[in-house]
Structures are given as C-alpha cells and as structure tokens.
Amino acid sequence: MTHEVIDVDSSALDRSVRDSYRMLSGRAAKGVAVVSTVVGRYDHATTVTDYLSVSYDPPTMLVSLYGLSRTAEAVDEAGRWALSLLASDQRTIADELGELGAPLRGLLARTPHWRRELGAPAIIDGCVAWFECRTTAVHDAATHTLVVGEVVAMGRSDDHDATPLVHYRSEYGTTQRR
C-alpha cells in the first residue's frame, strides 16, 4: 500500500495545496444545517456543514462561518441564532440558502419556517433537530469565524424517523437505518 503525503507550508500556500485540502477534508461525511438569525427586520441564513456539539453541560454548539459573510456579521451582531439540522428531503433548501449573494429581502420567503417568539431566529420546518443559541464566544480562525453558543432551546421534527441530509465528496446523500 502506498500513501500520498502533501507537506503543507502555511506561510506559502499555493492553489494546489488549497485544492488538495478541500478535496481531502471533503471525504468526511457531514450533516447539513442552516444557521439563521435576525437583525432588525431582516432574516439572515446560510447553509453550513461545519458545526459541532461542544458540550452537554451546559449544552453548547459551535458553527463555522465564512468570516466576511453577511451571516457571520449578522450572527455576531444579533448574539442569538438557530441551527436547523436538515432532513434528507430538504436538499432544495440547502441549495437555495447556500447560494452566494442571495438577496436579503425575502430570503426565507420560499422556505417553510417558524419562530419560537417574535424576533427569534427562524427554525426550518421539517428539520430533524434544531438548536437556538445565545452567543458566548467568537473566535477568528483563518478565513472563518467560529461562533460558540449556549443552547437556550432545542427540539425535533414531528417525524421522529426523519433521516439527516449529509454532504460527502461535494454531493448530498443520507444515512440508512439498519
């Protein structure tokens, strides 16, 4: 068996190293989610695959957002956000909210969603699970912003057998129950 090794000099990254990193990191199957927040009268939302549960005590989540995105700026300003883990039948939502430069007005007009209360971030209808968070820390990491949030509310879809939408090697898929 042979092993490919790519040495990385972070002070002189070229395009081939970045492309290799993106390809190799894409070999991890990841759940697909939507991060949403609201600032003023406008919803901000984007599709993400880089998030994780940080702690159970207290319940804490982390999401990674492109640092120069409107959503990262809005999440930082609002201090309150929701993470909706998408179901396997929600690929269209993932695509629509993953588009770069989507107009701010009417962003969620075609996406069924609800809110726990007036002014709360949108929660996507039919998602397999959701978490509403209050930001407790923000960290810059290279081109991204890592947002840590304490979970203030959480829930799941009425369809307790819904399967998650998964992203693997630049394609959507799902899991199968045994």
Q: What is the pLDDT along the chain (178 residues), one digit of tens a residue?
A: 777 777 776 655 677 777 877 888 777 889 999 999 999 989 999 999 999 999 999 999 999 999 999 999 999 999 999 999 999 999 999 999 998 877 777 889 899 999 999 999 999 999 999 999 999 999 999 999 999 999 999 999 887 788 999 998 888 888 876 6
Instruction: Give, in degrees to the nearest 5, the angle at Cα 159 between 106 and 38.
Output: 25
How many angstroms separate the CA atoms of 129 and 160, rounded? 9
pLDDT of residue 165: 96
pLDDT of residue 93: 96
Predicted pLDDT of residue 7: 73
107 found inside a domain: yes
Q: What is the CATH number of the domain that holds 139?
A: 2.30.110.10
Q: For the chain, how many structural domains are there in total?
A: 1
Q: Which domain holds residue 109?
A: 31-165
User: What gap in Å lies between CA 15 and CA 83, rounded to an integer?
Assistant: 32
In a domain, 160, yes or no: yes
Is residue 178 domain-resident? no
The pLDDT score that the predictor gives to residue 26 is 78
Q: Is residue 13 part of a domain?
A: no
d(CA 69, CA 104): 12
In whole angstroms, what is the distance from residue 17 CA to residue 14 CA? 6
